[in-house]
Amino acid sequence: MNALRVGLVGATGAVGETLLRVLEERRVPLAHLAAFGSRDREAAVRYRGAMLDVRATTGEALADRDVVFFAGGESLGEAFFTDLAARGIYCIDNNPTFRLRDEMPLIVPEINAAALEAQHRILPVGNCTAILLSLALAPIRDTAGLREVVVSTYQAASGAGRAGLEELDNGQRALALGDREEPAVVFPAQLARNVVPQIGGFDADGWSGEERKVAAETKKMLGLPNLEAIATCVRVPVRTAHAEAIVVRTERPTTVALLQAAFERAPGIHFHAEGIVTPRDVEGSDEVHVARLRAEGNDGTRFALWCTGDQLRKGAATNAVQILELLIARGYLR
């Protein structure tokens, strides 16, 4: 493999910063990393002990890269990505734009690495909540088939990026000090001392954008287009890591013991046979933590479980870096 030249668009954001840390930790063999954002800034991000300049994102500035991670810049537009792809540059893209295109795979390496093919250049990274959900559902699918999933989510403020975290922090500080709280801007209602049952805009049928993404992308990642999937997505005043309360109906009868064994074998899963696990416990972890697995009724097809995972890592940055590692392992990067 030639010396690998990588770009990171959105290096100053919540996902971009996590990408820098994950690239360092996993010792991905990069020859050069260049950081990009909406504008030029000197010495703005840290990577491998050095401060890197951040440059404004243009097609020209990215032209000498072999691979570009996108963690921001949804306004760049589709043509921006297709132009880079036409030049042979791999675009590993956290934006939602391409995720549901039939011709593009939605790779979660533990689940569907086989979907990656040599000709793919635009590689979308799925919605963070959907990635965590798909990992938690894959062992159930493989054990007894999956007919239906109903999920209620408890999503952290950092899911809305740096601005979301700041709004939560400012609201909590104002409440603690008895100061006047600023009106909500990032979230549809103030998040401090609250939960907010809306993530994204509502469509004509009353579903939020996040609920639609979670349902559609989970089906695609699991390769189950006929899965009945219903999501209710809720923002909670947690800094990092999403949690999900999941109810499933399987195709065939199974048992808690068989599902437990499947979870214990599954890559990317940390199964907790006893007790609970909370978002604070899993900050910085690359695994999806599954707990409280239980059966409902006697026919062996209805189960409930809880999962939580760091959405900035496995839900975004780690999954993106794993896709790069897959490209390297397959020998696609020359």
* Catalytic sites, residue numbers: 128, 242
Residues 6+ apart with CB under 8 A from 29: 1, 4, 328
Which residue is associated with the tokens 């697995």? Answer: 293
CA 198 to CA 204: how far, in whole Å? Answer: 14
139 binds ligand NAP per the rule CB under 6 A:
no
75 binds ligand NAP per the rule CB under 6 A:
yes
139 versus 315: smaller Cβ distance to ligand NAP? 315
DSSP state of 73: -
Which residue is associated with the tokens 């992308």? Answer: 217
Pairing of strands 32-37, 50-56: parallel
Pairing of strands 32-37, 269-271: unpaired
How many Cα atoms occupy the beta-carbon half-sphere of 121 within 13 Å? 13
Which region among 73-81, 195-203, 285-293, 297-305 touches ligand NAP (by CB under 6 A)? 73-81
> Buried b / exposed e across 41-77, counting CB within 10 Å, b at 16+?
beebbebeeeebebbebeeeebeebbbbbbbbbeebe
Which region among 7-15, 248-256, 260-268, 270-278 touches ligand NAP (by CB under 6 A)? 7-15
In this chain, which of 33, 76, 104, 192 binds ligand NAP, going by CB under 6 A? 76
153 binds ligand NAP per the rule CB under 6 A:
no
CA 44 to CA 36: how far, in whole Å? Answer: 10
Q: Which two tokens stand for residue 254?
A: 């199974």
Alpha carbon of residue 140 to chain centroid: 20
71 binds ligand NAP per the rule CB under 6 A:
yes
40 versus 299: smaller Cβ distance to ligand NAP? 40
Which region among 36-44, 78-86, 137-145, 284-292 touches ligand NAP (by CB under 6 A)? 36-44
In this chain, which of 162, 249, 272, 292 binds ligand NAP, going by CB under 6 A? 162
7 binds ligand NAP per the rule CB under 6 A:
no
In this chain, which of 23, 94, 217, 320 binds ligand NAP, going by CB under 6 A? 94
239 versus 302: smaller Cβ distance to ligand NAP? 239
How many Cα atoms occupy the beta-carbon half-sphere of 235 within 13 Å? 25
Are the C-beta atoms of residues 123 and 90 closer than 8 Å to each other? yes
In this chain, which of 85, 115, 163, 236 binds ligand NAP, going by CB under 6 A? 163
Q: Which residue is nearest to ligand NAP (CB)?
A: 72
In this chain, which of 6, 8, 15, 327 binds ligand NAP, going by CB under 6 A? 15
Which region among 9-17, 24-32, 214-222, 263-271 touches ligand NAP (by CB under 6 A)? 9-17
Q: Helix, strand, or coil here: 196? A: strand
38 binds ligand NAP per the rule CB under 6 A:
yes
Q: How many residues bind ligand NAP (CB under 6 A)?
A: 31
| Binding characters for ligand NAP, 97-136, by CB under 6 A (x = yes) | -------------------------------x--------
Q: Which two tokens stand for residue 99?
A: 């995720």
Amino acid at 290: V
In the complex, the residues that contact ligand NAP under the rule CB under 6 A are 9-16, 36-39, 57, 71-76, 94-95, 128, 158-159, 161-163, 311-312, 315-316
